[in-house]
Chain A
Amino acid sequence: MKLGFTTLGCPEWTLEQVAANAAACGFDGVELRVADDGLHLRPDATGDEARRVRELFDRAGVPVFALCAYASFSSPDPAALRGNCELTRRLIALAGTLGAGAIRCYGGKFADEERHAVAARAAAALKPLAAEAADRGVAIALETHSYWARGADMMEIVGAVDSPGLGVVFDVNNTFAGTGEWQETYRLIRPRIAYCHLKDDYRGADGRRHHVMLGAGDLPLADVLGRLKRDGFAGFLSFEWEKRWEPRLAPPEEVFPQYVHKVRSVWNG
């Protein structure tokens, strides 16, 4: 097992600070957020820029293992879907240059459509992209998230594409908090897991879900890590701390070391 974090959790850090602090905290790698807002890299970053970033992280001993990106594949609007496919092609190239093995993407939202139809459309869009990604040693990885938090739903897309270029980011808490289960989803997606997102939250007295440091919320962390360990999971467990969206969350300087300590102590029993 290796430890990482998405840079969604440290929006105030520069790339240099991300690399230095990741190493200082004891992480093994970084899931680098790539978004149009420039945190922490733009999808249209040049090859030279990407090479400099790769060198920065490799030199710090915390390589970029994944891109945390926002492409999605459910839109019924052909132009929007085409735009996401073009974005994904840029991300594949970027991941190749950065040496990242995976690109986190979304299945995407939908409204008045049958799930099967949406899954088929997404799979059709993803099939050629997955082939291109596989050729570059990269995998597009759809996150278990909202509409696609259940393993059976996710596998409608991933199974239809059936390519090493398409995998899954198992966001354990998205699945657990959103569906009430995680074991069945894990069983179904296990062969396709590119890496995992770990985060924790709880349902408050106000009825809302509140993010909280790992181990302090509702997530059955010991069960999850115990199962992954028994199954010989050797990939990244990437901490997703949603500081970018919730500025009042505790700073990464406090929760990132706690994450490393917590996961290692639970994992090692």
Chain B
Amino acid sequence: MKLAVCNEVFSGWSWQQVCAFAAEQGLAGVEIAPMTFAESVTDVPPARRAEIRRVARDNGLEVAALHMILFSPKGLHTNSADAGKRQKAVDYLKALIEFSADIGCPTMIYGSPPTRRLDAGLTYRQARAYFKDSLLKCLDRAAAARVTLCIEPLPGDCTELFNSVEAALGFVMDVNHPNLGLMADTKAMSTESRPVADTIRIFGAELRHVHANDTLGVAPGFGTLDFRPILQALREVRYDGWLSLEPFHFRPDAESNVATSLRYLRAILADLDAAQGAA
């Protein structure tokens, strides 16, 4: 399991500052919100893309994933009843795939709940069909760029599409494309009917990426989630992908919360390792 942190956590920091901090914390990667570089990635020139890749590499880091991918530009909607809006989203997803490949990032996380809400009058099935059609228009491009798009299940108060890991997995299995995968967020999983650790044990083999996020959107260890059974379950299913910290709220500041959270997670991982070694 590799640890990463999301770059938008460090508001106002340069990419170099984020990478330096991540390296100092002993992280293996950083996850990028594209909007932190430009409103549209089409405005990020090749030289800047190369620089993003180089700075990460120079700090001994990988770019773990892109997330918050459709938070900007405004007006993107993959399952809109409006064909024009859907096409705009498809075009931008393709641009993101190119951006992702250019900065050496193999994974794109599709959470972005506002862009997958149900338009008034659409049934789930209709919206799902539009969503599927939009993704299918992008996935061959993703394959060519060696990028995998991962669906992020989110709670029902965020979006109507895919409110559980199981629902998202059903969709991923239905699309059945090697460049479409499943990821999970610990906070989102905590809203499901079953314990987070159970969800991981049942569906963990399908997970390509995991966001570590505590209740109320704080960093792991600052909310009410107990990460011991969560990390234990990830170990049990031999999850070896990214565990990426994605907190939204901090007190007093992001860097101290991230550092504390990492100590919390690493202490659990060390305990689990020790227990496994003893066994």
User: Which residues of A does B touch, CB under 8 Å?
Assistant: 12, 17, 21, 202, 204-206, 210, 212-213, 216-217, 246, 248-251, 253-255, 257-258, 261
Name the CB-closest residue of B to A25. Answer: B174
Please tell me if B60 contacts chain A, counting CB pairs below 8 Å.
no
Using Cβ atoms and an 8 Å threshold, which residues of chain B touch A254? Answer: 162, 166-171, 174
Q: Is the CB of B194 within 8 A of A204?
A: yes
A-B contact count (CB 8 A): 67
- The answer to whether residues A255 and B198 also contact, given A246-B193, A248-B193 and a CB cut-off of 8 A, is no
Using Cβ atoms and an 8 Å threshold, which residues of chain B touch A253? Answer: 124-125, 128, 170
Q: Is the CB of A210 within 8 A of B198?
A: yes
- The answer to whether residues A17 and B123 also contact, given A205-B195, A251-B167, A261-B173 and a CB cut-off of 8 A, is yes
User: How far is it, in angstroms, between the C-alpha of A250 and the C-alpha of B162 when the chains are bound?
Assistant: 8
Number of B residues with CB within 8 Å of any CB on chain A: 24
- Shortest Cβ gap from B192 to chain A (Å): 7
Q: Is the CB of A202 within 8 A of B123?
A: no
User: Which residues of B does A touch, CB under 8 Å?
Assistant: 123-125, 128, 162-164, 166-171, 173-174, 192-195, 197-198, 202-203, 229
Q: Is the CB of B125 within 8 A of A21?
A: yes
Q: For chain B, what secondary structure do more than half of its interface residues adopt (helix, strand, loop), or is it mixed?
A: helix
Q: Is the CB of B170 within 8 A of A205?
A: no
Name the CB-closest residue of A to B206. Answer: A216
Using Cβ atoms and an 8 Å threshold, which residues of chain B touch A213? Answer: 166, 169-170
User: How far is it, in angstroms, between the C-alpha of A250 and the C-alpha of B173 when the chains are bound?
Assistant: 14
- The answer to whether residues A216 and B202 also contact, given A254-B171, A261-B173 and a CB cut-off of 8 A, is yes
User: How far is it, in angstroms, between the C-alpha of A212 and the C-alpha of B167 when the chains are bound?
Assistant: 10
- Shortest Cβ gap from A181 to chain B (Å): 23
Q: Is the CB of A248 within 8 A of B166?
A: no
User: How far is it, in angstroms, between the C-alpha of A219 and the C-alpha of B195 when the chains are bound?
Assistant: 19
Q: Is the CB of A257 within 8 A of B174?
A: yes
User: How far is it, in angstroms, between the C-alpha of A103 and the C-alpha of B229 when the chains are bound?
Assistant: 44
Using Cβ atoms and an 8 Å threshold, which residues of chain B touch A250? Answer: 163-164, 166-167, 170
